[in-house]
Structure 1
């Protein structure tokens, strides 16, 4: 079993791979239908949300670079229009956990769309080699990712069941950082919820690594165009409390009183991921309750 302790995946010395295997034959439709192989805990009992009363689909739409971008969509049955929530995955792409997040949001009345940011190179979900997964994720640069978000917004705005005037975004791990970036870039987004997204380069980052991660959320506080709720773990080894405090200071300096960061005592990185060993049920439930509250206030 691999216990993920950093937002961008482990370093080489962190890696301790499980012998558990899930064959690539588990792939169904456009997306891996099971849980990310590299992070699945043997003892996990993930939340599984059914599709009753929902419409779910695998779709594709054009990205600015011409790529046919796949996405998983879950929404309530009926004509809508429903407020839209973009769901940004962890480093493992659109696997069973991210699909379930979409269905959980659809059960609450949202049209949830999870784009597959990494598949231009390869789908990371079926892989156990964290070195290869990091390579795949590293190839998804800022402008490509923002272009994919833009394409998702454009596609959603053309769907009769989607209310393009009510848009939220939430993301996990790697996707949490994307939430901060997208909320600083797109005025159409009304609310962001970032789950343990990296806020600043690590203390051990090389200048090249620090530059590759730009723009960092800590540098975007002045540019945020909507409130962001950040949900973080006290024991996150990849996002220390010094980074959290630096982000809070940046928000204060920017006069941003609508964004908030919540830190959960005793929670590690990935505390919401119910298929991982890092899952912390009480923190996950409280964070989800807070997500629903801010989306209710801004999107409905």
Structure 2
């Protein structure tokens, strides 16, 4: 039986952390790595370095200094060209491809949802409004697409939806990424595509699960005040093919680490 290993990582600058990307490839041995926050215009993407890691197929949508997404693959794919320009901002937060996967094509989407700033109030903080609008547009898009089949969605969605996805549910209820309005919005998006939470498929909802630890913590490991901001969702027809998952927590302790760690799922196709 063939397998497909898909990893996602907010790399926080692909040029700065290209050596760490090699460590991720060696540690997880993924077939595909989806990156967010590449912070690199397409013409400056270190294409040779990425291909040298064993990923001959690369697609990217990047801009100078901010945002940016990229997909690295060991197997062929076609880049989708008709997906929306979210909130008409052209800010490089989504990249979709169609993979030449065992058993038939798989649609793969890589998202980087706006962080939303520090104040959870649309009127006082336009960044928060942008975040809510982005998720609302993605939800409407999902509804319009109809039945969701052979699809995977990954990325830094910048929302920790469950109580055990944060170090303290009570203390983070008014903190951007875990506010009730964001959680409700993400839930609507998930339901619109009938998406299955691939990582919580393996980790029960009553267990703590984090993928991000703030740079502000003096000792991130000792404090362990994390949040699960990075997600993998699969369409209902792929839920039964989920074989395993991995969260590379050790990556948060690497020198010049990203504040996010890689997340991977494996499908048996």
Q: Scaled by the length of structure 1, what TM-score is found? A: 0.34
Is the strand fraction higher in 1 or 2? 2
Q: Scaled by the length of structure 2, what TM-score is found? A: 0.37
Is the helix fraction higher in 1 or 2? 1
